[in-house]
Amino acid sequence: MIKIGVLALQGAVREHIRSLEACGVEAVVVKRKEELQDLDGLILPGGESTAMRRLIDKYDFMDALKEFAHSGKPMFGTCAGLILLAKQLVGYNEPHIGVMDIQVERNSFGRQVDSFEADLAIKDVAETFPAVFIRAPHIVEAGEDVEILCKHNDRIVAARDRQFLGCSFHPELTDDHRITAYFVEMVKEAKQKQLV
């Protein structure tokens, strides 16, 4: 049985758990760093990246998250989670976890009042996906080995770099579980490789 955790410090945790369960995998609410050890994959949910970083530091999660990232296990960051995974952030000297070869700009679609929905074509996932953008970041630049999965108005809003998946929007706020299912497949493939 595949076991995927959702970092439960802040943000849309319950919605991700529901989406994972809809995809038929065991979903774990992760509140302590020790819980990362038993997981096959991890979702970093949307929320507020600054608040999330404060809580990561408060509960001493950062080294454990970096270790998880370097273990080859897949991670999926949505909205604030994408910011946590990026190697570079516009206007900041230091990244957070810093494992995805992308540069991200925070709140690049405007403030909360500028939230919107858009139907997106996402490579290998869906021809049309209902994406919810709330104070969303976007990917300004992607390294040459990064696979760009989706753009909205010429801005990159979903990408994959090896075992890391990131998107600007909130797939968990819809009843469409196809992006979660795509991540579950990434986790299954990675687990298969580790067993070989």
**How many other β-carbons are positioned within 10 Å of the β-carbon of residue 71?**
13
- Pick the catalytic residue: 79, 105, 167, 177? 79
Q: Give the span between the Cα atoms of 77 and 136, in whole angstroms.
A: 12
Q: Is 172 a catalytic residue?
A: yes
Closest to 68 in 3D by CA, of 168, 192, 190: 190
Burial of residue 107 (CB within 10 Å: 0-12, 13-18, 19+) is middle
Query: Crossing angle of helices 49-58/62-70, nearest 10°?
Result: 100
- Pick the catalytic residue: 16, 150, 172, 177? 172
- Pick the catalytic residue: 16, 96, 152, 170? 170
Burial 58-70 (b: 16+ CB within 10 A, else e): eeebeebbeebbe
**How many other β-carbons are positioned within 10 Å of the β-carbon of residue 176?**
18
Q: Which residues are catalytic?
A: 79, 170, 172
